[in-house]
A and B are shown apart, each in its own frame.
Chain A
């Protein structure tokens, strides 16, 4: 097995061109999936027998929450690769992930709060999933704060990579301790009643939205990565060729 493809990924000009070439292949399908998912979720799907039309916020909330965790995992894996193989591009990927992940987390929190109002009668409930989502937001903010706080870029990369790896070990512990804490203090809320299997007309748009959000993340990541590579390599000669072209 040859490792050339892996080694080529470490070259900034190559990754810059690759990201530029790949972005439309993710951006367009993402747009299509999200449009189709929204159409299916907001128009075609039947109202929920318990929550009426209120449940439709699920189509934004669940994919955002899913992405918030997936982006963190991606970030930690990229950070670990950067730490182990000292690969600068991997650190650039991790750096590009953080603001995207924080935005998805924020979106999940806001939609969760908006959903809570009709369901629980209050915008904020100390629901275990919302609470762990809030903690995740702080983990993202800490990561970005540490990165911004260290002036030397290489040290910033490596220190924040250690933090990302420590964080990803802790995310499940935090999640389960919060779930455990909550189950002591209140009876299970509406949300956690055993759900009857969702009808296909409800599930299909959700899967489309999940796919669309994942593709959107990749497209956003590739775009941010190009900016990150440009900023990091601003002294390199290949940049001049790219910019003048």
Chain B
């Protein structure tokens, strides 16, 4: 296991490492392409995450816990909870993804991996995109898979569940991307949790608005494509711009 990890880290590095990967007879020392580097960074992050499964479970447990708070605080009546469900689900998802941001760069900043990324000569933007994608696969997608459970517990009809899954899946892409900027900016700051939420939550409001709207329409059995498309538009805008800003922020934090 560990050999493949170090292998992945190596191949990102200077050109020499990629020579080891070329098959015999092929011309040596072909530089690793940006896509290849991003793929390796993605695989590395996924592999590391699966070795620390407790970190993966914590945001999900937090999501379930927050969902549990609302019936206890408001009322156990399913009819009322169903009305509140979009808000509850999205606030819980927003907070859970915020909580998970801590894992995005922290370890890599500690052990110097981020510096190696910045020095590797590869496009840091592509590497940031790969890291954010890994983060979404590890936190956003599981949240989307878990959202139906939470929704059912709030009295939502099963017919609405596919819409909710899609909305949370698309919306959490943008949340991860915005979060990557916030996490990169607060890299060097100790006890940055409150600051990180102050930076990322205002920027996440459009996702909350359109996500909750799509969920609400899905619960009422109405067509929810319009807010979903807006969520998709936000995700596209985020994919285009956020890795650039995150890469700039990482470079500044490493100065």
By a beta-carbon cutoff of 8 Å, the part of chain A in contact with chain B is 83, 135, 138-139, 141-142, 145-146, 149-150, 152, 154-155, 158-159, 162-163, 165-167, 169-170, 173-174, 177-178, 180-181, 184
A134 to B117, CA, bound (A): 38
With A155-B255, A173-B234, A181-B209 as given contacts, are A162 and B245 in contact (CB-CB < 8 Å)? yes
A142 with B198: CB separation less than 8 A: yes
B185 with A162: CB separation less than 8 A: yes
Q: Does B61 contact A (CB under 8 A)?
A: no
Chain B residues touching A, majority SS: helix
Q: Does B55 contact A (CB under 8 A)?
A: no
Stretch at the interface among B24-32, B72-80, B149-157, B200-208: B200-208
Chain B residue at smallest Cβ distance from A148 = B195
Chain A residues touching B, majority SS: helix
A145 with B195: CB separation less than 8 A: yes
Q: A-B pairs with CB below 8 Å: how many?
A: 74
A162 to B249, CA, bound (A): 7
A162 with B252: CB separation less than 8 A: yes
Contact size range, B: 20 to 34
Chain A residue at smallest Cβ distance from B192 = A149
B241: A residues at CB distance < 8 A: 169
B181: A residues at CB distance < 8 A: 162-163, 166
Q: Does B15 contact A (CB under 8 A)?
A: no
B252: A residues at CB distance < 8 A: 155, 158-159, 162
Interface CB pairs A-B, < 8 A, 11: A139-B202, A146-B185, A149-B186, A149-B189, A149-B195, A158-B255, A159-B252, A163-B181, A166-B245, A167-B203, A181-B213
A180 with B199: CB separation less than 8 A: no
B206 with A177: CB separation less than 8 A: yes
A141 to B194, CA, bound (A): 12
Chain B residue at smallest Cβ distance from A144 = B198
B198 with A141: CB separation less than 8 A: yes
Residue in contact with A159 in the complex, picked from B198, B205, B249, CB distance below 8 Å: B249
